[in-house]
């Protein structure tokens, strides 16, 4: 690889200026970065994950054509119309589809399973996601709560519960 | 936590032991900071063999085998030339830093998860099943690869679903390596006071970069890719500049990067074509290019070809075949141009390659200007505000333009060509992946900027040091 030619005068002057100016420019940018960081949404207060570092365990309530895979991810083969997926407080539900996708919607955002409230914590917010026919995949991300709630399972529900408290499979 | 700490220490020891083959060229301190990425590279090579031969991944067994092979290599080195106290001390320092990182990572629970993270973690569960690669989603196999999932499979040993310390380990060791490189590369350029000022400013600048710090806690491939790109580019320059055995970690970094990102073959090809045009010796070229050649042959040829969705499609635009062609061609060029017969034209190969990439981009823009327009708008908004980079790239790009004009670094094209190549690749990727960059911190385009930040900042300070040196003469 050839050595660069002797720099011309203007390049030399610009280079000298650059060399002198660089530390100040970097420090200035860093100071502004640090000063503004607390104002970035979500940057100052990281979401706390699960207390025990686990993700979730899924247990399906009834046996009809529901394939539960791993704690934090499930695939519903030929999900039935009107099936309901119970997800924990603040969860983000992402759907990705194989063939025959059918739409889904959150049908109830503040479901409170009172019977377990005293045992597992306070102020649960459980989202219910209604499934309809088709092959669906959901990935579920925990919200800010440390504890996950064991909902009162109803017919057709898939329940998302913490690994540490889940008796799997859960019976209705 | 004890198991997770043991995994981290095993990776560190494995990396340090493997690097004993580099002799004096890579100092014990440098080996210490390289130990996590190189230890992980060793583990991943064994994991790949296991997945292809045994068709499953037993993370514990693979970790033990990779540690065993590395320690064996270190013992051979010890018998041949002994071991210095300094080497042992730095190895223990690496293990100590790994322990502290695990403790801090687990205590503070800073791990970030997005839907992408969950796909990686799902894959990490698939790989340990019988028929590992066949279990993994066929599209994810191509787009997410197996590097990160195979590393997170180690969480099985700790009874967890992911290793909270994996990102922080790459972040901490990658950052320490950056500091070491900054100090080392500026050693002969300027006076001590000015050097301290320059290096200190660069360290502060990198540490204040919000997205790079975020990536250290985010379960995705970005912090790993940033570490491997840094090792590859800086290591290649050091190897060509006289410390030839830096080509070993740099070559390993190039090879293992192919397991992390779908666009990695193009990144690797850019670096290899730059080396083809350099004055690197045959040994350096072999060490830099062979890991990538083997990896693309084994992983793309035997793994993705068979298991990925559309993997056996034969076309230069097909992800698997096209990637094999790109890396294969770059490896051939890297090895052929060492011959004195082709040296004369080979020395401009990097510039020709850069021109070709730019022409390809122009072709893309001409065929679909809307994608480019949308990507430009999204990038400007991301760099200025929405991508949470704050002043990082605004400052870095401005300084980079000046540095590219004034740099007088010996073998400087080993820095400028990859950086320009990565920049052109950034604009070409929306066409290759068939979708414009979008506005937001979570967009892929915004995230991959993290891969090139440390290399860019290192180039900025090198350019300053060599200008200062010229000025002093």
The tens digit of pLDDT for each residue in A50-82 reads: 333 333 333 222 222 222 222 333 334 334 344
Residue B84: CB atoms within 10 Å:
11
| Tokens encoding B55 | 């068709």
What are the Cα distances from residue B361, in Å, to B234, B368, B369, B429? 27, 11, 11, 9
**Of B380 and A58, more confident:** B380
Beta strands in chain A (DSSP E): 56-60, 67-69, 73-79, 84-87, 92-97, 105-111, 126-130, 134-141, 157-162
Q: Which of B240, B248, B243, B228 is nearest to B70 (CA)?
A: B248
- Are A49 and B111 in contact (CB < 8 Å)? yes
Q: What is the pLDDT of residue B123?
A: 83
> In percent, how much of chain B has pLDDT > 70?
97
Report the pLDDT value the prediction gives residue A41, as an integer from 0 to 100.
63
> Rounded distance, CA B201 to CA B264, Å?
30
Residue A109 pLDDT more than 80? no
- Which has more confidence, B365 or A106? B365
What confidence category does residue B115 fall into, taking pLDDT thresholds of 50, 70 and 90? low
The DSSP result for B3-33, as a single string, is: HHHHHHHHHHHHHHHHGGGGTTTS-HHHHHH
Question: Which pLDDT does position B111 carry in this prediction?
Answer: 76
Q: What is the pLDDT of residues B288-317, one digit of tens each?
A: 999 999 999 999 999 999 988 887 888 777
Of the candidates B198, B210, B394, which has its C-beta nearest A40's C-beta? Answer: B210
Q: What angle do CA B448, B454, B460 make, to 5 degrees?
A: 125
- Name the residue with tokens 């039935």: A80
Give chain A positions within 8 Å (CB) of B276: none
Residue B457: pLDDT band by 50, 70, 90 thresholds? very high
Q: How far is B78 from chain A (nearest CA, A)?
A: 37
Tell whether the model's pLDDT for residue B100 goes beyond 50. yes
C-alpha dist (Å) from residue B59 to B8, B62, B98, B444: 13, 5, 19, 29
Cα-Cα-Cα-Cα dihedral sign, residues B89, B13, B27, B216: negative
B137 — pLDDT class (breaks 50, 70, 90)? confident
pTM: 0.83
Closest chain B residue to A34, measured at CA:
B208
Which residues lie below 8 Å from residue B403, measured CB to CB, with a gap of 6+? A18, B459, B460, B463, B464
pLDDT band at A5 (very low <50, low <70, confident <90, very high): low
Contact B392 A19 (CB under 8 A): no
Q: Is the pLDDT of residue B226 over 90?
A: yes
Q: Which of A23, A33, A55 sits opposite B197 (nearest CB)?
A: A23
Answer whether residue A165 shows pLDDT above 50: no
Cβ(B115)–Cβ(B190) below 8 Å: no
Mutation target for A interface from B402, B412, B454, B462: give the one with most A CBs within 10 A. Answer: B402
Give the pair of three-digit tokens for residue B256. 């293992």
Residue B471: the pLDDT is 67
Name, in order, each residue with C-beta under 8 angstroms of B305's C-beta and a sequence gap of 6 or more: B311, B312, B320
Contact present, B87 and B20 (Cβ < 8 Å): yes
**Residue A135 has what DSSP assignment?**
E
Task: List the A126-130 sheet strands across, edge first.
Answer: A56-60, A157-162, A84-87, A126-130, A105-111
CA B348, B351, B354, B355 dihedral sign is negative
Nearest CA in chain A to B121: A72
In this complex, do A140 and B118 lie within 8 Å of one another by their Cβ atoms?
A: yes
CB contact under 8 A, A22 and B461: yes
Above 0.95 for ipTM, yes or no?
A: no
Predicted confidence (pLDDT) per residue in A16-41, tens digit:
899 999 999 999 999 999 998 877 76
Residue with tokens 């480019």, as numbered in its chain: B372
CB contact under 8 A, B122 and A72: yes
Predicted confidence at residue B187, as pLDDT, reads 84
The span from the CA of B40 to the CA of B63, in Å, is 9
């Amino acid at each position: 690889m050839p050595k660069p030619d002797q720099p011309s005068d203007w390049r030399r002057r610009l280079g000298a200026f650059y060399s002198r100016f660089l530390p100040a420019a970097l420090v200035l940018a860093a100071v502004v970065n640090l000063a503004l960081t607390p104002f970035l949404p979500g940057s100052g207060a990281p979401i706390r994950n699960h207390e025990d570092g686990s993700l979730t365990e899924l247990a399906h309530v009834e046996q009809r054509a529901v394939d539960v895979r791993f704690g934090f991810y499930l695939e519903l083969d030929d999900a039935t119309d009107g099936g309901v997926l119970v997800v924990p407080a603040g969860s983000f539900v992402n759907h990705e589809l194989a063939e025959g996708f059918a739409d889904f919607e959150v049908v109830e955002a503040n479901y409170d399973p009172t019977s377990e409230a005293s045992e597992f914590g306070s102020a649960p917010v459980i989202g219910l996601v209604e499934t309809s026919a088709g092959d669906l995949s959901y990935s579920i991300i925990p919200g800010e709560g440390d504890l996950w709630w064991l909902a009162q399972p109803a017919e057709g529900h898939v329940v998302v519960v913490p690994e540490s408290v889940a008796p799997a499979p859960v019976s209705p | 936590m004890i198991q997770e700490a043991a995994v981290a220490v095993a990776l560190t020891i494995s990396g340090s032991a493997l690097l004993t083959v580099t002799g004096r060229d890579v100092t014990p301190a440098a080996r210490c900071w390289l130990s996590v990425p190189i230890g992980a590279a060793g583990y991943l090579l064994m994991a790949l063999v296991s997945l292809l031969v045994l068709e499953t991944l037993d993370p514990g067994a693979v970790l033990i085998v990779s540690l065993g092979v590395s320690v064996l290599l270190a013992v051979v080195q010890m018998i041949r030339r002994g071991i210095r106290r300094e080497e042992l001390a730095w190895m223990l320092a690496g293990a100590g830093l790994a322990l502290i990182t695990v403790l801090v990572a687990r205590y503070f629970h800073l791990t970030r998860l997005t839907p992408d993270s969950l796909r990686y973690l799902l894959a990490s569960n698939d790989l340990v099943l019988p028929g590992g690669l066949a279990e993994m989603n066929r599209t994810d196999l191509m787009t997410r690869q197996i590097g990160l999932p195979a590393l997170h499979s180690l969480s099985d040993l700790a009874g967890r679903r992911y290793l909270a310390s994996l990102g922080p380990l790459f972040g901490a060791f990658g950052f320490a390596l950056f500091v070491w490189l900054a100090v080392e590369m500026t050693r002969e350029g300027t006076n001590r006071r000015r050097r301290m000022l320059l290096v200190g400013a660069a360290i502060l600048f990198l540490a204040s970069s919000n997205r790079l710090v975020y990536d250290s806690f985010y379960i995705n491939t970005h912090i790993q890719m940033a570490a491997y790109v840094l090792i590859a580019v800086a290591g290649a320059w050091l190897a060509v500049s006289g410390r030839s055995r830096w080509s070993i970690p740099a070559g390993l970094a190039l090879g293992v990067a192919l397991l992390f990102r779908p666009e990695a073959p193009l990144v690797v090809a850019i670096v290899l074509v730059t080396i083809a045009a350099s004055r690197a010796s045959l040994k350096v070229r072999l060490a830099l290019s062979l890991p990538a050649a083997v990896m693309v042959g084994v992983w793309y040829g035997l793994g993705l070809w068979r298991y990925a969705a559309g993997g056996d499609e034969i076309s230069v635009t097909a992800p698997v075949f096209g990637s094999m062609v790109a890396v294969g061609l770059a490896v051939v060029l890297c090895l052929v141009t060492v011959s004195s017969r082709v040296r004369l034209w080979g020395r401009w190969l990097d510039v020709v390659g850069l021109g070709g990439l730019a022409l390809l981009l122009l072709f893309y823009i001409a065929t679909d200007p809307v994608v480019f327009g949308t990507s430009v708008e999204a990038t400007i908004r991301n760099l200025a505000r929405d991508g949470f980079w704050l002043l990082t790239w605004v400052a870095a790009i401005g300084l980079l333009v000046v540095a590219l004009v004034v740099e007088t670094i010996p073998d400087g094209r080993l820095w400028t060509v990859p950086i320009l190549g990565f920049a052109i690749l950034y604009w070409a990727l929306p066409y290759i992946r068939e979708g414009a960059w979008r506005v937001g911190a979570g967009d892929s385009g915004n995230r991959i900027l993290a891969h090139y930040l440390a290399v860019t900042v290192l180039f900025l300070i090198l350019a300053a040091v060599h200008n200062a040196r010229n000025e002093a003469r």
